[in-house]
Amino acid sequence: MRAGPSQEDIRRHNLGALLRHVHLGGPISRAELTAKMGLNRSTIMALTSDLTAAGLVREELPRETGRAGRPSLVVRPESSRVYVFAFDVGPDRLAAARVGLGGAILDRRETARRRGPFDLDELAGTLAGFARQMRRKTRPDTVCVGAAAAVSGGVRKDDGVIMFGPNLGAESVPFGEELGRRLGLGLPVSVGNDANLAALAEHSRGVAVGVRDLIYLHGDVGIGGGIITGGHLLGGHDGYGGEVGHMVVNPGGQPCGCGSRGCLEAEVGERALLEAAGRVAARGDTRANALSHDGDGAGRQGRDAVRAVVDAADRGDIVAQEALKRVGGWLGLGVANLVNIFNPEMVIFGGMLREVYLGSAAQVRSRLATNAMGPQRERLRLRTSALADDATLVGAAELAFAHVLADPLEVLARVTG
Amino acid sequence: MRAGPSQEDIRRHNLGALLRHVHLGGPISRAELTAKMGLNRSTIMALTSDLTAAGLVREELPRETGRAGRPSLVVRPESSRVYVFAFDVGPDRLAAARVGLGGAILDRRETARRRGPFDLDELAGTLAGFARQMRRKTRPDTVCVGAAAAVSGGVRKDDGVIMFGPNLGAESVPFGEELGRRLGLGLPVSVGNDANLAALAEHSRGVAVGVRDLIYLHGDVGIGGGIITGGHLLGGHDGYGGEVGHMVVNPGGQPCGCGSRGCLEAEVGERALLEAAGRVAARGDTRANALSHDGDGAGRQGRDAVRAVVDAADRGDIVAQEALKRVGGWLGLGVANLVNIFNPEMVIFGGMLREVYLGSAAQVRSRLATNAMGPQRERLRLRTSALADDATLVGAAELAFAHVLADPLEVLARVTG
């Protein structure tokens, strides 16, 4: 119930809105901006010259339009000049990318991560090293305007601390602070949950552009969720919203890492599938732990192991088919619950759930038909992630760009001193 | 990504914001408005004189302040002059109220409803009759600026049609249109889901003022939910968001009216409690249907029957205690799932769930401790509805006032012709 915005607020809003058009939609003519933003030509001209002076966009004559009359100048993001660092910390990989304004991944580094405890020193060191390598290759006139990391865990809204991340072996880790210190760029590192950021990425640049109500389900060792309702990411009171992996779908079912039983993650996660397919020993079997912490080269865990089950089922392996059927049934029940609760327009399967869904779509749809209410599922679309393994990195880049889009001139003034 | 607002948009926003302060917070001095809205004194004065001229507020000298200097005028809502009609259609009651700007219920009518099919003619006729009775008692200078109804069912966002309402016997009913026609006020009747509107009511005037992330659970024959995330009601793609009653908590459990089994509603709703307490025959027993459609005078169903179980448990009745324990366990599991998914600041138990929660708080909390993740439940507050049986009516009134608060002058100009 605050008062309306001041003239200065409006200018800032308009600058951000114009930059966002260019950042998300790519090169666009002034004439199109005038139409899309509902502003007059002189205002658009003033805004683009401010952004041009700041080095965020440039204006060019369009290629031959074939039309008579003076062509409208095209506004392009300064993609190779203005960039952010995006990081991803998953159970099985560490990745870093240099992403230009406009969203292009300009450079990237990646390494496998061995599952186990969270070694803050080593992790932050590796990622900062990647950033330094990429930075050394940039031209002198480039400027880094932000940095953000996607992590497989629950991130406290107030300070970006990873409060829980059982699949990373993390608990109460001030990761962003440490990575920021190591980067030495004088920039804070924003930290977000990987599924939340992947949901934002699909919403901004993936399969769900223009979709205001969506659920993104991310499978890794565990199951995470990123939920967008009415165009806004569901953050929750402390920032832990979207932890759909610990919704109980099967009371008394498989034991879960969280201490409970029958969570979606326990019934549908990597381990549940590999156990059902007889590819790792069942939980409770003392050999199980040994196996699960085994080297990952043997394909006994991780994305390759999941793909192997789906491929085997495709080739007619009955055990693999039954495993997918079982896991797909629980996945379908979880999705049906979420569809009833959220009435989304789209559900997106990402990470290893992409493979699981493709291998068990019939079970998922059958459960939806039984358990989701008719009107809720009538216009529902089920999709797989368009950005695939880049979704988390792309989402982290969007998080890093967020404050630039909120206040373009202030940020650039601060960064370039 | 539209452009920022025009001067006219800002004025409209400010008028609405000022009226909202007065409507929700009650009488307030110009000086306080200046501070709260961050506008200067002359702007506040201009806004209040516009609203005064429109007959929406009036300004008065405050009572003795005891302070020196000229006292700041107090702005009050024109509560007795400007009102809306609010309606509630529940499984067991029909209610109508005349609610003044500022939220006071000025007059009300209520009658019991016999469970059974939805008779649109009779229902709309009864409610319109209530409105006529109340209208006849108003002074000639009063003006009705809106009307809205809360219904126990899923309401399609686009047109307000009740698409499903098994506990009302309703399916694809154009209720708002018909009620609007019967009212004959030349006003559209907005229609909303009762749990959604009760959630808004608790958020605006009840136990959750200032809470931006909350889950309101409404128990009646069924279980409904109203969810507010980041200060916004979760509507979903078509308007059916919040149907938590059909989240499956116990796969293969009790049969549910929706055709599925083990839904929260089937395990925790009125019937589940009364069956567990041996007060109605179990489902599957052919006598059950006869009993459940029996007259409601005998206390065999409805709120009184639920209260009787809770009272019996209080008095030491072991069967009633076990029934509450069982139902409370499933309620707790459902709440834990929602807490993991939404990370809310508050969960509110309303309707008959108020009684059930008070009688089974230990089970609910114990399930939360087992099934909700630590960080999510750390700062969670569990509360019962403050508005009790008025929550749905109060929420309907807020829905009816919504367009007045969005654009105060336009609405009043249109209504008063």
Together in a domain, A101 and A167: yes
Q: Which residue of B has its CA nearest to A338?
A: B247
Residues B264-269 have a mean pLDDT of 96
Residue A217 has pLDDT above 70, yes or no: yes
* Chosen from B2, B18, B240, B341 to mutate, greatest number of chain A CBs within 10 A: B341
Q: Which of residues 251-280 of B touch A (CB under 8 A)?
A: 251, 258-260
Residue B297 has pLDDT above 70, yes or no: no
B325 and chain A in contact, CB less than 8 A: no
Together in a domain, A147 and A249: no
Together in a domain, B324 and B269: yes
Residues 6+ apart with CB under 8 A from A121: none
**Chain B residue numbers touching A225 (CB-CB < 8 A):** 341
Q: Which residue of B has its CA nearest to A340?
A: B243
Of A4, A338, A343, the CB nearest to B10: A4
Together in a domain, B103 and B53: no
Domain boundary among A77, A94, A118: A77
pLDDT tens-digit map of A341-400: 999 999 999 999 999 999 999 999 999 999 999 999 999 999 999 999 999 999 999 999
Of A156, A341, A372, the CB nearest to B244: A341
* Chosen from A1, A20, A204, A377 to mutate, greatest number of chain B CBs within 10 A: A1
Alpha-carbon torsion, ordered A388, A273, A331, A358, to 10 deg: 50
- Say what the pLDDT of residue B285 is: 58
- Say what the pLDDT of residue A208 is: 98
What's the half-sphere exposure (Cβ side, CA atoms, 13 Å) at A166?
15
The count of domains in chain B is 3
pLDDT, averaged across chain B: 91
**Chain A residue numbers touching B164 (CB-CB < 8 A):** 373-375
B17 and chain A in contact, CB less than 8 A: yes
Q: What is the token pair recorded at A190?
A: 């924003």
Min Cα separation A38/chain B (Å)? 6
Residue A292 has pLDDT above 60, yes or no: no
Query: Is A18:A37 a contact under the CB 8 Å cutoff?
Result: yes
The percentage of residues in chain A with a pLDDT greater than 90, rounded to a whole number, is 82
Q: What is the token pair recorded at A346?
A: 């789209």
Give me the amino acid identity at B155: V
- Say what the pLDDT of residue A62 is: 82
**Residue at B371 is within a domain:** yes
Together in a domain, A250 and A283: yes
Residue B326 has pLDDT above 60, yes or no: yes
Of A37, A163, A344, the CB nearest to B2: A37
Inter-chain residue contact A240 with B343, CB threshold 8 Å: yes
Together in a domain, B255 and B325: yes
- Neighbour tally for B289: CB within 10 Å: 11
Residue B412 has pLDDT above 80, yes or no: no
pLDDT tens-digit map of B68-97: 677 788 999 999 999 999 999 999 999 999
pLDDT tens-digit map of A280-290: 887 765 444 44
**Residue at B2 is within a domain:** no
Together in a domain, B19 and B40: yes
**Chain A residue numbers touching B248 (CB-CB < 8 A):** 249, 333, 336-337, 371
- Say what the pLDDT of residue B294 is: 41
What's the half-sphere exposure (Cβ side, CA atoms, 13 Å) at B219?
30
B366 and chain A in contact, CB less than 8 A: no
Q: Which residue of A has its CA nearest to B153?
A: A375
β-pair type (A82-89, A57-60): unpaired
Q: Which of A58-72, A266-280, B294-308 has the highest mean pLDDT?
A: A266-280
Q: What is the token pair recorded at B305?
A: 């029957």
Q: What are the CA-CA distances from residue B103 to residues A356, B24, B96, B206, B233 (Å)? A: 52, 7, 14, 12, 20
**Residue at B46 is within a domain:** yes
Residues A213-235 have a mean pLDDT of 96
**Residue at B134 is within a domain:** yes
- Neighbour tally for A117: CB within 10 Å: 9
**What is the enclosing helix (H) or strand (E) of B98?**
strand B93-100
Q: What is the token pair recorded at A166?
A: 């059982």
Together in a domain, B231 and B268: yes
**Distance between alpha carbon B252 and the CA centroid of its chain, in Å?**
32
The percentage of residues in chain A with a pLDDT greater than 70, rounded to a whole number, is 93
Residues B114-129 have a mean pLDDT of 94
Residue B36 has pLDDT above 70, yes or no: yes
Range of the domain at A30: 7-77
Residue A249 has pLDDT above 70, yes or no: yes
Min Cα separation B207/chain A (Å)? 17
Task: Report the distance separating Cα B263 and Cα A370, nearest Å.
Answer: 12
A371 and chain B in contact, CB less than 8 A: yes
Residue A401 has pLDDT above 50, yes or no: yes
Residue B289 has pLDDT above 80, yes or no: no
- Say what the pLDDT of residue A287 is: 46
Inter-chain residue contact A249 with B248, CB threshold 8 Å: yes
Domain boundary among A29, A44, A77: A77
Residue A311 has pLDDT above 90, yes or no: yes
**A18-27, A147-156, A390-399, B277-286: which range is least confident on average?**
B277-286
Residues B258-275 have a mean pLDDT of 95
Task: Report the distance separating Cα B23 and Cα B79, nearest Å.
Answer: 9
Residue B67 has pLDDT above 80, yes or no: no
Q: A352-371 and A318-342 are packed helices; what angle lies between their axes, rounded to 10 degrees?
A: 60
Together in a domain, B109 and B252: no
**Buried (b) or exposed (e) across B233-265, using 16+ Cβ within 10 A?**
bbbbbbbbbbbbbbbbbbbebbebbbebbbbbb
B164 and chain A in contact, CB less than 8 A: yes
**Residue at A2 is within a domain:** no
Residue A161 has pLDDT above 60, yes or no: yes
A28 and chain B in contact, CB less than 8 A: no
Together in a domain, A250 and A397: no
* Chosen from A373, A379, A380 to mutate, greatest number of chain B CBs within 10 A: A373
A128 and chain B in contact, CB less than 8 A: no
pLDDT, averaged across chain A: 91
A403 and chain B in contact, CB less than 8 A: no
**Residue at A205 is within a domain:** no
Residue B284 has pLDDT above 70, yes or no: no
Residue A1 has pLDDT above 60, yes or no: no
Domain boundary among B26, B46, B77: B77
Inter-chain residue contact B229 with A250, CB threshold 8 Å: no
- Say what the pLDDT of residue A302 is: 87
Together in a domain, B88 and B168: yes
**What is the enclosing helix (H) or strand (E) of B154?**
strand B154-155
Together in a domain, A116 and A62: no
Output the domain CATH number for residue B24.
1.10.10.10
Residue B142 has pLDDT above 90, yes or no: yes
Q: Which residue of A has its CA nearest to B375?
A: A163
**Residue at A204 is within a domain:** no
Q: Which residue of A has its CA nearest to B5?
A: A10
Inter-chain residue contact B238 with A375, CB threshold 8 Å: yes
- Say what the pLDDT of residue B288 is: 41
Nearest CA-CA partner of B278 in B248, B316, B305:
B305
pLDDT tens-digit map of A25-39: 999 999 999 999 999
Inter-chain residue contact B241 with A341, CB threshold 8 Å: yes
Inter-chain residue contact A38 with B1, CB threshold 8 Å: no
Inter-chain residue contact A237 with B340, CB threshold 8 Å: no
Q: Which residue of B has its CA nearest to A381?
A: B237
Q: Which of residues 230-249 of B touch A (CB under 8 A)?
A: 230, 232, 234-244, 246-249
Q: What is the token pair recorded at A26?
A: 């790519």
Of A11, A243, A344, the CB nearest to B340: A243
Phi and psi for B288 in degrees, rounded to 5?
Answer: -55, -50
Residue A293's pLDDT band (cuts 50, 70, 90): very low
Query: Is A48:A22 a contact under the CB 8 Å cutoff?
Result: no
**Chain B residue numbers touching A339 (CB-CB < 8 A):** none
Output the domain CATH number for residue B258.
3.30.420.40
**Residue at B1 is within a domain:** no
Residues A280-309 have a mean pLDDT of 65
**Chain B residue numbers touching A249 (CB-CB < 8 A):** 248, 251
Q: Which residue of A has its CA nearest to B232?
A: A230
B29 and chain A in contact, CB less than 8 A: no
- Say what the pLDDT of residue B293 is: 38
Q: Which residue of A has its CA nearest to B330?
A: A251
Q: What is the token pair recorded at A226?
A: 């990123």
- Say what the pLDDT of residue A299 is: 62
Residue A58 has pLDDT above 60, yes or no: yes
**Chain B residue numbers touching A237 (CB-CB < 8 A):** 212-213, 343-345, 379
Residues B201-227 have a mean pLDDT of 96
Min Cα separation B371/chain A (Å)? 6
**What is the enclosing helix (H) or strand (E) of B191?**
strand B189-193
Q: What is the token pair recorded at B91?
A: 């499984």
Inter-chain residue contact A20 with B10, CB threshold 8 Å: no
Phi and psi for A249 in degrees, rounded to 5?
Answer: -105, -20
A48 and chain B in contact, CB less than 8 A: no
